[in-house]
Amino acid sequence: MDMRTQTSPHRLGDDSRTLPIADGPELRAALEAANLQTLLMVYVHLTHDESMLETFKVHIHPPYTNPDYQIPQDCIEDLREKLLYVLTTPGAARPGDPPLDLMKKMMSVGVGEPVEDEFIPMVMEQAGFQRTAPRKEKPGRTPPPPGFKVLVIGAGLTGLLASIELERAGYDHVVIEKNEEVGGTWWKNRYPGVGVDTPSHFYSYSFEISPEWNHYHPHGADMREYFRSVADKYDLRRNIRFQTKVHSLEYDEKDAVWNVTVEDLKSGKRDVIRANAVFNAFGTADRWSLPDIKGIDSYKGIITHSAGYDETIDLKGKRVAVIGTGASSAQIVATIASEVSELAVFMRTKHWMINNPEVTKEVPEAVKWALRHIPHYKEWFRFRVFWFAADGLYPNVVKDPSYPEDGIAVSALNEGMRQYALSHMRHKLAGRPDLMEKLTPDFPIFSKRIVMDAGWYDALVMPHVTLEDSPITEITPTGIRTANGREYEVDVIICATGFRHGKLVKDLKITGREGHDLAVDWADEEERAYMGTTIPGYPNYFMSVGPNAGPNHAGGLNIVSEAQVHYMIECLDHMLASGARTIEPTQEAFVRHNRRIDDRMKHMIWTHPKSKSYYQNSKGRPVGPWPFRLVDMWNEMRGPVREDFRVE
């Protein structure tokens, strides 16, 4: 079946959760299945009853400190009984949200560790408790003048968000999208088992929390439908030019506008759009090509890349080769192993594999019911998922100076995570010392992207599956030849060989003021920006997840996107309020920011001598990761530091 025709719409912005709720089997099943800590938060939110927090706080611990601890059953039953009464009895719930001090106390008790004050504003937004009013309704604000236009490149996670927020701020805008539908990489990627490492109930917009996720970690189809539902709700397609490609951006100093050359991919016709500001919202995970392997053009069978996978390929009973052992490969291999006759996996590099039981787990219908109907459940559930998928992971990537510079771990916590991963590997590969030897990495865990085990190890121990670590020397007309002299005859080759992350703006030609050319300014792989968003010499040009803005210690691309879109609009608002036409960072601010990045990076795992991944450029400089916490980025991007910008 063509996945493009499947629909499973997400219920967005449906605030039909009213009290009282009729007592019945669905409500009782939801209370039995729902997360207990989240139910506690709901009860206190509805009653403001702090005594229940005192009862539970000695029993709630972070999941990684005491995973086997069981909350006493009498406490559990008491909570469910009291919450059932509040939900079903008219007038039992107190009106209004709890005061902020109580909310802060609830957060700390709910996750079993302190939630410090610096996190509260970000948490209130990211959990969906607060959202600022549309900026265009702000009294005294200088509105965008008639004819002022913003051009957004890409209609994926960040581009759709930009469209929503620009509309709320009153900015006329157009979105250029090369695909035929919204979703970006999640529209294009359709390989077997495609999914997301970040938990479903976190990997979404803070203001559009969907209760309809089918899995605790979303599959590709779930992501496609989420973004399509967002586009439907906000009527975003009216501002999108689909199947259109941006070729170049050229700044016109006289008129203070960008001349953006675009091509209609259906007709081949090119035209120029004049825009006062540009937001480059495309990511790096859409630039792929088949690997440069001798003889690849001679292969007579089916060859495909994971990022351009053809869903019509029938793998049943076929002899299949998968090149690569990263995240995409792990998902593909786990998914197809049981249906192919032979499977050869060609390993180029090793990866740390983490056991997360929820990565393949379906969300029970009773939990979906709770998310849909129990007031505040979805917000508190998102808070809990967010807390443990974000900055709680940051200590894993910070070097302890007492550890050897070239050791196998960078701290005691990092070593503990390494042992956790090794324990899982030993359990899954018991009796296969050959696989243990091939798969055990010699670099610190988290120094490059970790991979979730969604059946990868189980697939590799199957008798018809071979893991080959000898390098590929040639692709022949009938298969693959390796350096050890072995030849594999296969019917299908799947290249799970990743993306070309090296150039953050792809082959897009960008010419700024006074002769600035981004290809020259970023020559020799010196890709740098101010706050990963703006660059001196390129007025009114903004980018998402630019140099050193990647949330590589945690799941949090959606947080970065929301922060950067907010920052772009704050910058434009500041510019217009100043009566100016352009805004860009000063060279001094740019240099200072990047010196700060480099100084901090010395203390991070990504400068470990054994750390080699797409996080770094070919010289070894980490160009991808943000070396601070997500909360630091969020707080720093509330608005521009005025003295850091040239406003004219």
Asked if residue 289 has pLDDT above 80, the reply is no
Q: How high does pLDDT run on average in the chain?
A: 94
- In single-letter form, the type of residue at position 473 comes to T
Q: What percent of the chain has pLDDT over 70?
A: 96
Pairing of the two strands 319-323 and 492-495: parallel
The pLDDT of residue 506 is: 63
507 or 276: whose pLDDT is higher?
276
Judged against a pLDDT cut of 90, whether residue 158 lies above it is answered with yes
User: What pLDDT, on a 0 to 100 scale, did the predictor assign at position 605?
Assistant: 98
**pLDDT for residue 139:** 93
Please tell me the number of Cα atoms within 13 Å of 321 on its side-chain side. Answer: 26
Rounded to whole angstroms, the Cα distance separating 211 from 540 reads 37
pLDDT computed for residue 65 by the predictor: 77
Least confident piece of the model among 12-21, 409-418, 499-508 = 499-508
The pLDDT value given to residue 13:
59
Rounded mean pLDDT, 337-349: 97
**Amino acid sitting at position 314:** D
d(CA 619, CA 498): 19
Q: Give me the sign of the Cα torsion angle 591, 597, 603, 608.
A: negative
Give residue-wise pLDDT tens across range 76-94: 999 999 999 999 999 999 9
How far apart are alpha carbons 517 and 538 in whole angstroms? 9
**Full set of structural domains in the chain with CATH:** 25-132+361-391 (no CATH), 146-287+501-647 (3.50.50.60), 296-359+403-495 (3.50.50.60)
Q: Quick check: 614 pLDDT over 70?
A: yes
Which residues in 185-317 belong to E strands, given as ranges? 240-241, 244-252, 257-264, 270-275, 277-280, 302-305
Mean pLDDT of 249-278: 98
Q: So what's the pLDDT on residue 257?
A: 98
Q: What does the pLDDT look like over 370-395, one tens digit per residue?
A: 999 999 999 999 999 999 999 989 99
Predicted pLDDT at 4: 36
**Residues 637-645, mean pLDDT to the nearest whole number:** 97
pLDDT at 499: 66
Tell me the range of 385-389, 554-558, 593-597 where mean pLDDT is highest.
593-597
Asked if the model's pLDDT at residue 11 lies above 80, the reply is no
Would you say 182 and 237 are in contact if contact means Cβ atoms under 8 Å apart? yes
d(CA 338, CA 223): 25
Return the pLDDT at 356.
85
Taking only the tens place, the pLDDT of each residue in 91-111 is 999 999 999 999 999 999 999
For residue 262, count other CB atoms closer than 10 A to its CB. Answer: 21
Residue 556's pLDDT band (cuts 50, 70, 90): confident
Decide if pLDDT at 16 tops 60.
Answer: no
Q: Is the pLDDT of residue 1 over 70?
A: no
The model's pLDDT over 131-151, given as tens digits with 9 standing for 90+, comes to: 989 999 999 999 999 999 999
Q: What is the DSSP letter of 616?
A: B
Query: What's residue 7's pLDDT?
Result: 41
Q: Which one has a higher pLDDT value, 14 or 545?
A: 545
pLDDT-derived band at 6 (thresholds 50, 70, 90) equals: very low
Judge if pTM exceeds 0.85: yes
> According to the model, what pLDDT value does residue 503 have?
57
Across the range 273-291, mean pLDDT stands at: 85
Residues 548, 528 contacting (CB under 8 angstroms): yes
Give residue 500's pLDDT. Answer: 60
Decide if pLDDT at 202 tops 50: yes
With a cut of 50, say whether residue 5 has pLDDT above it: no
The mean per-residue pLDDT over the stretch 208-213 comes to 96
